[in-house]
Structure 1
Amino acid sequence: MIANETIEAVKNIPIEDIVGRHVDLKRKGKYYFGKSPFTEEKTASFSVTPSRGIFKCFSSEKSGDGISFIQQLKGFSFTDAIKDICQSQGIQLQYIQGDIYSAEEKKKREEAYKKKEAIQALLDFALTFFQLQEFPDKFRKVRKFTLEVLDQYKIGYAPHGNKLLEALRKNQYSIELAIEAGLIGRNDEKEEYDYFRGRVIFPIFDRWGKVLAFTGRTDAYYFKSEEEDLKKNKKHVPQKYFNSPDSVWEKGKNLYALNIAKDHINKLDYAILVEGTTDVMRLAEHEYFNAVAPCGTAFTDDQIALLKKHTLNVCIIADNDISKKAGKKGKGVESMESHAIRLLHEGFRRVEVIIPPVEGQDPDGYLKVKRKDEVDKFINSRMSFLDEYLLNYCTAQGALGAVEKTEVIRWAGEIIENIPDDLFRQSAYENLCRQWKPFNQYKLPKKAKEVELPKNIGKESMDDFFEFDFYEKDNCYYTYEKRGERRICAFTMQYLYFVVTDDIPLYVIKFQNTFGRSTIKAFTTDETIVASEFRKQVSRLYGRFLFEGREEDLNRINLKLRKGVKKADEPQQIGYNIEHDFYIWGNGILYNNELLKANEFGVVEVKFPLKSEEDFLKVGNDTVIDLAGKDYLIESPEVARNDLGDKLTTLIESNQVNILKYFFLPFADTKGLANNVDGSAQKLFTLNMNNKINFEKWAELLNKVHGEHAKLMIGYYMMSLFRDIIYKHNNSYCPLLSLFGPPGTGKSTAGRSLARMWGSNHCEEEGMNINNDTTRGIESHVDKFQNAIIWINEFSRNIEKDRVGKLELLKTFAGGSERKTRSTKNYKSNNAKNRNGTIISGQDSVNFDPGLHDRCIPLKFEPVEHNKEAFTTLKGFEENGLCTQVTAELLRYRKVVEKKYTETAKKVRAELERRLKIELDKGRMSYFPDERIILNTESVVAPIVLFSDLLKYPFTVEQVYINAIENIRYKVSIKKSNNEVATFFSVVAAAGLVYGNHYKIEKENDGTGRMKLFLRLRLIMPLYRSASQRQGMSPFNESDIKDMLLMHKAAVETEKVEEKYKLGDRSKGVNFPRINKTNTSALVMDYGILAEDGLDVLNQEVNDYAKDQQTTSSYSKKTETTKSKTKEMQKTIEGTAHPLDDFFKTDKIKLTHFLKSYKLKKGGTDADAKKYLQQLIDKGYASQVRHDWAELNQKKETIKVSHDTILKILKG
């Protein structure tokens, strides 16, 4: 029979080595994938998990370990599978003589097994025993580990004396076995004692969590000074660390804490390697659970192999024992170097190192007093051993003298020379040569080849062979081996671009076969480095394209051909690009007023001029530079500057030195390289540069078509074009534009006209339909653009039903806040953000939602006669995309806007406030507008004013101001009356009113056809109060409610009707037949006007109501009526009591909180806030104070404050 030693040896072979002989495996992260060897399949469903030592075949549902794989693949028995693996892996078979165990052998094996189990039970008992002991106070104070970490790593304590021995005897464990387990010792006098005494215990587990042994650290001293004191006083100095005896376990075959770290290493795909157990625990304190350490021994091959099962990426943190005075490395740093070198030579790819900055400290000591953010910064400071540490050390040593330089060149050369992967080794060599010129003296040894290459291949191909092990002949690639010439492929390749897409990076490659046929194809990075994938993709090319090579051949070809390949980045958005200061269109990039068109691959080349030698030296290595019209690959800017000498300065001064950068616009790609990209919206975003229209002509046409609305439309267009500048000035805010009105009034025409400034069909013919498009679809669309306009159409009050979705989304469009979205096509998560001006159009206004209303500039469209000739001309320009020329014209002035906008905006703000104060003083407004209303208007007026000296308008700036003030007055009138009435209706909508009892909605025979709302207010009030309290609100009293409703425009009669049919307060004559009330009182309002403001919240039980019958009264008449009522109310109040008395009797308010909230929202000082409140008091706007308090006091902290106290505070 096969010996157990052989079976264990087979089980320790990495499963990927066993399976890899039968399946072409491809590594992806911590797994390997390949096609099933058990079934015929096109897509790989077979996986190998090295960390668990198992395979899984989803097509055949087979699974198991490496031995099981061979059994199922070849139909072998267990014994035959072991033999097969031993033969393929070079393991010597060991047999137990005889086909069966003898009775004596069987007895021995059973005894050995029982003994092993008994020892494991002893170790488990000891582990529990140590954990139950109290730690010394000094350990807690010095080490400062949390209880969570101590428990996680099962740290314990071995007390002084023989406490464990006593416990073992008490629980009747075998003392002889305890001695074998390394828990108990026996002296020359045959006396037993605890092996670990007065020590902090660190248990060591295998990777599956089974305890193997213990390490004990003395508690007699923790610092070097304490150790020296013991020696000085001639006291016993205990050994610092005690480990379980070697007879118990093999130190070099396990890693400390791998049982905890392995899952974290698998997840993160990198491990942290430290020297000591406490270093591991200290990192865990700061949530780095992927740390391991050698178990009190040198870093062994077995430990490296164990780590390799989980990752090929390791960060080593050293003990800092560098002596700055002596300038020498200590054992800790030397150990780190040794570990790093060995890992690289064992095939690890990313090996990084960190040395604590404080001399004489290990990771535990250094990180003990650090915060989490400081530890994160420390870990993120790790440097590549090859690219940084080795380079820095070589540079420092090389500067000391010829001897040191020679030694360090040889040392670095031997490190790189022994990296097993050819491509990695060559890249590391070239990188160090480029960064440290003396290393060029070291030549990587080449394999001796006795070859006789064909004489007609040319010197360049011969050089390629000796450097890259292949050469070109007859449009094919060949290599040469012992048997002679071997063809790798029947074609040659040219890497055109490396395209960094938003999805998967692509290489654009030109292929030309030996028969002269050429083709261009985009491959993913994986498809260019995995031979099987590359072979498959090449075979799909039309024509005789054949790859016969191996993976190492492909690696060498890539090493040569990828040098200097042009990298093309895909921008995240089109429109204005802040990083490069150009404007991206669907057909190219507008840079310095020139449209650089995309080539057939969708790639645009942009030249960025360098202004000085300083700029030249900042250019990265391997950058393509345009020098006097020719492209050069600059491998090192320092070397290039030295080579060019004074010529470089001359070229720079004559603007002949440019960095070449390439940008990939997938929507402009006609070759279908990125065939999974939609790009339909971006394709419509097309610039048509022409001389048929300019800004002056366009503005004149727009003004003729849209009249007064054209002014703010033009301002909004300008704001959108430079939105990033205005958005920043406004503290991350830009308003939306609301276009509303009945059908056929021109609102969609207006939205379309502004959208067409970015393409003949940008936003398509009717904009984005907010009812049909999903929230995710809208988010995804707006995220494609920057500094453009997005047009959302068909807005209506019905959107309120989707309040948590689209309505809230529109509000975020003003603030530009990010929202998580996910692409349904490529399954990617992104942070979607609106960076554009946004137009909302529809029959309904946004008034029903105060939050959205505050963020919009309203333009109400009413039936007017268009200038048909101007309309036709403008439409022709728009349909042919010619209006984009105007956008290109304005983009020339970006630097002017950047420089002057802040100053202009301040002047515009001051002028708007001056004019608004006049409006307020003359009684044409009921209160001074909120900050946001003014900011909205400022954002569109300021661009017009800024451009007034640069562009010609069909109107004056004075006319713009007049139009802007009218717009503000309109918005104030809506907001004033709506705020308090909207609150009332929102409460009573949930108060349980009964139709026909508390209210009714019906027409009257007054000749107007109006639908009217009849409210029995006195009957409603008890339900209103209860509903208010349930909603955590303070209810208004009945008289205040009545006043508010009567002041609303829906209660103001503007029609000539009989007295009994008038709106307002009817003391009698109203019939409620359902409850037999035929002559009662009610408050009557125009339900159509309420509907306009989104206040039609009460259920209707009539069928003859239609929204197209709504009648809108004259704005000016209602304003005058409201103003008149306000003045009358003020006179009444002033004659009786202070206007705030009633307010403070019915509401609880703390003035200091009011002032604090005011400052938080609107800025300014206490004095500003008090002045604001005093103005409200002087003007008698108690209701406005109430509204502001409800809006501003988010914390709702309230106490009663007397009228006298308020006056005292305000006057003080």
Structure 2
Amino acid sequence: MDNQVIQTLKQRVNIVDVVRRYVALRPASGRHMGLCPFHQEKTASFSVNEAEGFYYCFGCQAGGDVLDFYMRINGLEFKDALQQLAEEAGIELKEFRPDPEYDERQKLKKLCLDMHAQAQEYYRRNLDQVTGDAARSYLRKRGTSPEMVAAFGLGASPDDWHGLMNHLVARGFTPEQGVLAGLFSKNEKGKIYDRFRGRLIFPIQNISGQVIAFGGRIITEGEPKYLNSSDTPIYKKGEHLYGLYQARQAMTRSKRAILTEGYMDVLSLAQFGYGDSCGVLGTALTQDQIKRLAGFCSRIDLIFDGDGAGRKAALRSAEMILHQGVACRVLHMPEGEDVDSLLHKQGREGLEVFFEKAADGLDYCLETIQKSFAPREIVAWATGFLGQLSDNALRAYYLPRLADGLNLSEADLRRQGASFAAQAGRQEVRKIAQQPVRSRKPMGMDDISDKKFIAFGILYPDYIPHLAKKGLHNFLSTQWAKAFWQKMFLQNFEQIFQSLNDEEKAFWQTTLDDPHMFFGEDLAEHWESMCAWIDKQHREMARKDLMQRLDTAAKAGDAVEVKNVQMAISALIAPSREEE
């Protein structure tokens, strides 16, 4: 991706306009201030510099440009954030076109989104009409407030085989398009009819708030009790979470996500003040869903039923979350209760008792394994758990806890885990890196820091998203490193190596051949060092901004602003003095 394209996007997309969608901003001395969306605070310390195009929080030190903000607030990867903002700015990113059918697929997605938007409005209106009497009665019995109905856009589908179809056909859509969008079903005889009939409707939204699917609960008699949309051009089961759009900002502030199983559980949690809640969509938790949540929080609290199926699901889910390096806790509801029923019977205080007793995710796994597995199975589980970790730092963190918790030898676990990882690890990436190149001499660079960061990304690709979220690309000093960084982050590793020029391939090859060229054995130490360096650059950026404010305030004779800025500078400088 040409860096000029990214710069053009930053020029066209006003950072204040983007931030204002998520944060209430007020003008203050040439910039805009508001409460930081990335941590809880009562005094506004979140600053947006419209002229320079960056934001900075004096409380949590989060900072970066409009792309950084959009990535972080929405839990997106760089590529997805870039695509979405480019569409807003009217910039065409041809490099993202994987094949000639790209335009056709985009048109199809737009068609599906338009149909879902029309369908949601249809269902919403039905809830307020006679056809929605049964659904409204059901919601009243469940104690769901009107505010929750509105916030989550609930609706009702009439018990009519062609109600939605007639509505959409009257607006220019065809029945076949409705089948493609997942709104209609088609039987063996070719008859087309509404997929959702006589149901309470739960719209499923993507992270941008667009309706991409529906869930429906039967209101009268019939099966299945719950019916979800099938896979479509805009919706893939296992990639999305119910209520994440509504919960994303609360998760960002609390650094926690509460994950449960049912639509009504999510509604009740939100109604009782747990705004950082979402639900899986009728399937087992997936890695894609965990990655989405990890963009908003550092801990996931799992709420499952206390029966055998619930405990099995909790074990599997906790394992997957821990593999992503995210903390988790596990709560089990008492027999015969779910989150929804417990909250309406005992209120928030009743659920808080279970949160206070929640088990740490890894402790829960170890306790469950010891109770349920034979000795040989315990060893196999521990070996597999460690071996599936591609992150060496995580493996080093979990190893002593597994050994201690399962009464196993740490040395044996380390050896067996390493053997497992060697078989299942990054063999494909290494294979590509061993392809012959014309030059094996790494290119010369003026700034050794750039080399270290790129080499670190090659050796430890799991850290790339973390470096991106910290805003590394703002501080790479050479065009070589900036171009390399963009290639590493926008594509998978096979595609990366194919896109590199000879000098870049040589650097990749040399890094893999000699991983200690820049780093010693202590991965954690080097990671902390790099994070500290990036944080220092953010502080320097903020310091320059403050000095500019100080100069402006001094020239204007604004003594109060001068004092406030001086205090901010002192607070900013304090951490750097402690490091010296």
TM tier relative to shorter chain: 0.5 to 0.7
User: Which is greater in Rg?
Assistant: 1
Asked if 1 retains the 8 angstrom alpha-carbon contact of 2:319 and 2:365, the reply is no
Paired residue secondary structure (2:346): coil
Question: Which of these residues, 346, 349, 354, is aligned with residue 370 of structure 1?
Answer: 346
Q: Which amino acid aligns with 2:117?
A: D
Equivalent residue pairs, number:
370
CA offsets 1:51-105 (integer angstroms, 9 cap, x no match): 72289xxxxxxxx965899xxxxxxx965xx49xxxxxxxxx8454xxxxxxxx8
2:71 counterpart (42, 53, 59): 53
Name the SS of the counterpart of 2:289 in structure 1.
Answer: helix
**Aligned mate of 2:228, from 230, 243, 247:** 243
1:1009-1048 alignment, distance < 5 Å? none
CA–CA distance in structure 2, aligned partners of residues 404 and 295 of structure 1: 33
1:337 aligns with 2:310: no
2:396 is the counterpart of 1:426: yes
**Offset at 1:301?**
3.1
- Name the residue aligned to 1:160: 159
Q: Deviations over 1:869-889 (max 9, x none)?
A: xxxxxxxxxxxxxxxxxxxxx
The one-letter amino acid of 1:333's match is R
Tell me the CA shift for residue 174 of structure 1: 3.4
Number of the residue aligned with 1:207: 207
Match of 2:120 in 1: 127
Deviations 1:20-73 (A, max 9, x none): xxxxxxxx9969xxxxxx9xxxx9996266672289xxxxxxxx965899xxxx
Distance across 1 between alignment mates of 2:325 and 2:285 = 16
Task: Say if 2:278 is the partner of 1:278.
Answer: no
| 1:166 CA displacement | 3.9
Partner in structure 2 of residue 302 of structure 1: 288
Conservation of the 8 A alpha-carbon contact between 1:417 and 1:444: no
Structure 1 equivalent of residue 551 of structure 2: none
Aligned equivalent of 1:354: 331
Deviation readout 1:137-180 (Å, 9 max, x if unpaired): 65235422111112111111112124333434555543343333
Q: Deviations over 1:692-744 (max 9, x none)?
A: xxxxxxxxxxxxxxxxxxxxxxxxxxxxxxxxxxxxxxxxxxxxxxxxxxxxx
User: 1:263: how far off?
Assistant: 1.2
Give 1:145's aligned amino acid: T
The question of whether the paired residues in 2 share the 8 Å contact of 1:200 and 1:219 is answered with: yes
Provide the rounded CA distance (Å) in 2 between the counterparts of 1:337 and 1:304.
Answer: 15
Structure 1's 308 and 557: CA in aligned 2 closer, same or farther, altered over 3 A? closer
> Is this contact kept in 2: 1:155–1:203, CA < 8 A?
yes
> What amino acid is the match of 1:347?
G
Q: C-alpha deviations, 1:176-197, integer Å up to 9, x for none?
A: 4333323233445555432211
Q: Give yes or no for contact 1:205–1:256 (8 Å, CA) kept in 2.
A: yes
3-state SS in 2 of match to 1:365: helix
Alignment check: 8 A CA contact 2:387 2:417 kept? no
State the Cα distance separating 1:341 from its structure 2 match.
Answer: 0.9
Aligned to 2:364: 389
Runs (5+) with no aligned partner, structure 1: 3-27, 32-37, 56-63, 70-76, 84-92, 97-104, 222-236, 322-328, 398-402, 450-529, 533-546, 560-821, 828-1212
> How does 1:223-262 map onto structure 2 within 5 Å?
237-248=222-233, 249-262=235-248
Give the counterpart letter for 2:346 in structure 1: K
Partner of 2:452: none
Deviations 1:1124-1144 (A, max 9, x none): xxxxxxxxxxxxxxxxxxxxx
State the distance in 2 between where 1:316 and 1:294 align: 11
Unaligned residue ranges in structure 2 (runs of 5+): 3-35, 40-52, 74-79, 86-91, 420-469, 473-515, 529-566, 573-580
Contact 1:265 1:310 in 2 (8 A): yes
Q: Distance in 2 between matches of 1:178 and 1:408?
A: 50
In 2, Cα distance between equivalents of 1:271 and 1:45: 20
- Report the secondary structure of 2:70's partner residue: coil
Given that 1:269 and 1:312 are in contact with CA atoms closer than 8 Å, whether structure 2 keeps it comes out as: yes
| 1:571-970 mapped onto 2 (5 Å cutoff) | none
The answer to whether structure 1 residue 404 and structure 2 residue 404 are counterparts is no
Scaled by the length of structure 2, the TM-score of the pair is 0.54
| 1:362-420 Cα distance to aligned partner (Å, 9 max, x none) | 3333333221222233333322111x3134334544xxxxx723423432443245444
> Which of 355, 367, 390 matches 1:379?
355
Contact 2:315/2:365 (8 A) holds in 1: no
430-439 or 204-213, larger mean C-alpha shift:
430-439
**CA-atom RMSD in angstroms:** 4.7
1:204 Cα offset (Å):
0.8
3-state secondary structure, aligned to 2:329: strand
Asked if structure 2 preserves the Cα contact closer than 8 Å seen for 1:220 and 1:238, the reply is: no
What residue in structure 1 maps to residue 276 of structure 2?
A: 290
Q: Which residue of 2 aligns with 1:445?
A: 415
Distance verdict in 2 for CA 1:211–1:404, change over 3 Å: same
For each residue in 1:744-775, what CA deviation from the matched residue of structure 2 results, as whole angstroms up to 9, or x when unmatched? xxxxxxxxxxxxxxxxxxxxxxxxxxxxxxxx
AA aligned opposite 2:396: Q
Which structure has greater helix proportion?
2
User: For the residues of structure 2 that align with 1:139 and 1:204, how far apart are their CA atoms?
Assistant: 20
Shift of 1:252: 2.5
TM-score (norm 1): 0.27
Alpha-carbon distance in 1 for matches of 2:391, 2:297: 16
- Closer/same/farther in 2, CA of residues 274 and 552 from structure 1, 3 Å limit: farther
Aligned CA distance change for structure 1 residues 370 and 439 (closer, same or farther; 3 Å): farther
CA distance in 2, matches of 1:825, 1:197: 63
1:394–1:409 Cα contact (<8 Å) kept = no
Amino acid at match of 1:122: M
- Give the letter aligned to residue 139 of structure 1: Y
What one-letter code is carried by the residue in structure 2 that aligns with 1:182? G
Change in CA separation of 1:437 and 1:95 when aligned onto 2, cut-off 3 Å: closer
Query: CA separation of 1:408/1:170 partners in 2, compared to 1, >3 Å: closer, same or farther?
Result: same
Structure 1 CA distance, aligned partners of 2:62 and 2:568?
A: 25
Cα 1:555–1:53 change in 2 (3 A) is closer
CA contact (8 A) 1:409 1:439 kept: no
User: For the structure 1 residues 155 and 374, does the alpha-carbon distance in structure 2 shift closer, same or farther, using more than 3 Å as the test?
Assistant: same
The answer (yes or no) to whether the contact 1:286–1:375 under 8 Å persists in 2 is: no
| Aligned residue number for residue 657 of structure 1 | none
Percent of aligned positions that are identical = 25
State the distance in 2 between where 1:417 and 1:127 align.
45
Please give the alpha-carbon distance, in whole angstroms, between the structure 2 residues aligned to 1:95 and 1:124.
Answer: 28
What pairs with 1:538-553 in structure 2 (closer than 5 Å)? 550=519, 553=522
Deviations 1:190-236 (A, max 9, x none): 55432211111111111000001111111235xxxxxxxxxxxxxxx
By how many angstroms is 1:429 displaced? Answer: 2.9
Partners of 2:294 and 2:272 lie apart in 1 by: 25
Cα 1:447/1:164, change in 2 over 3 Å: closer
Q: Structure 1 or 2: larger strand share?
A: 1
- Does the 8 Å contact 1:29/1:269 carry over to 2? no
SS of the residue aligned with 2:185? Answer: strand
- The structure whose RCO (Cα within 8 Å, separation 6+) is larger is 2
Between the aligned partners of 2:231 and 2:332, the Cα distance in structure 1 is 31
> How far apart in 2 are the matches of 1:259 and 1:404?
42
